[in-house]
Amino acid sequence: MSWLVTGGAGYIGSHVVRELTGAGIDAVVLDDLSSGLEAFVPADVPFVRGSLLDRELIEQTIDRHGVTGVVHVAGYKYAGVSVQRPLHTYDQNVTGTARLLEAMSSRGVDRIVFSSSAAVYGTPPTELVTEDTPKAPASPYGESKLIGEWLLRDQGVAEGLRHTSLRYFNVVGSGRPDLWDASPHNLFPLVFAALVEGRVPRINGDDYDTPDGTCVRDYVHVADLAVSHVAAARRLDAGEPVEPAYNLGSGGGVSVAEIMTAMREGTGIDFTPEIAPRRPGDPDRIVADGSLAARDLDWQMRHTLLEMVTSAWQAAPRG
């Protein structure tokens, strides 16, 4: 018996794999390495290189490794770029999820934890986002994640698939010095790259309706995220009830200016960020209510903002 982690060679997926194995749950990784790194997969965890679009490969992997559940983290995750690459985004995130569910159905695998996203909400009409906040995705990426949730829901009705979707907000930090966020689009890697190259990080807008004038967002530590994936897998294994979806957020949020202050302290590099014009459509504040996940999935904020920064900085490559 083992759990298949799709995208298990990526930033988030590799942390999930470590948390599963640390909890005594066997894991196997399926990843096409389009954005992941094989070095992120532990040597004692089976690794299959391949695409979610290859149903036969998924079925072979399930058979060979006795897979009984799936944590589905794989996907094309660049919301901004998805606007220019909608067909690729839908192929990877919607068709890939459908192929995975087909393979699971054919092999009788009936439980899945799905990596969803805050992007399903778009720009929400409320400052505190709950699971019932209206869904209005503003990119093909967000739309693809919402469709993924629908696929799980409908397969649950059709065949009794046991499932839950975890909606991430801004995932940062590192749980180990050998795992880092390699995304070219996320805030922390962008700031680190600027500092390493001797450039000054930038804040987009300082005239928002917030205490310090900069946007407030919800940042969560990747290791905390991984804990809740394992808790969800355990509940599904035990046949315990789960919600269709959970927000993984802090309930409080931090501003971009506060992030920059923590960056100065955590990296030891003094700088004064440049102030650029605000980006069109950026809301003042988006923060998630994580109380349902706290109730069911051992969700809690175990790391301070400074710990998020320092852990990410210590793991980040300097080359």
Query: Among all chains, which residue has been given the structure tokens 């710990």?
Result: 307
Are residues 129 and 121 in contact, defined by beta-carbon separation less than 8 angstroms?
yes
Reading the block at residue 103, the tokens are 């393979």
| CA neighbor of 104 nearest in space, from 31, 138, 155, 171 | 155
Q: Which of 141, 168, 219, 246 is catalytic?
A: 141
d(CA 57, CA 50): 7
- Spatial strand order of the sheet with 67-72 comes to 47-49, 27-31, 2-6, 67-72, 111-117, 162-168, 245-248
CB proximity list for 122: less than 8 A, separation 6 or greater? 135, 136, 137, 138, 142
Torsion sign over Cα 91, 71, 44, 14: positive
- Residue 311 burial (CB count, 10 A): 23
- State the DSSP H helix or E strand holding residue 220, giving kind and residue range, or none if neither: strand 219-221
- Residue 214 burial (CB count, 10 A): 24
**141 is an active site residue:** yes
d(CA 83, CA 211): 32
d(CA 242, CA 244): 7
| CA neighbor of 228 nearest in space, from 302, 158, 160 | 302
| CA neighbor of 285 nearest in space, from 161, 126, 61, 168 | 126
Which residues are catalytic, by number?
141
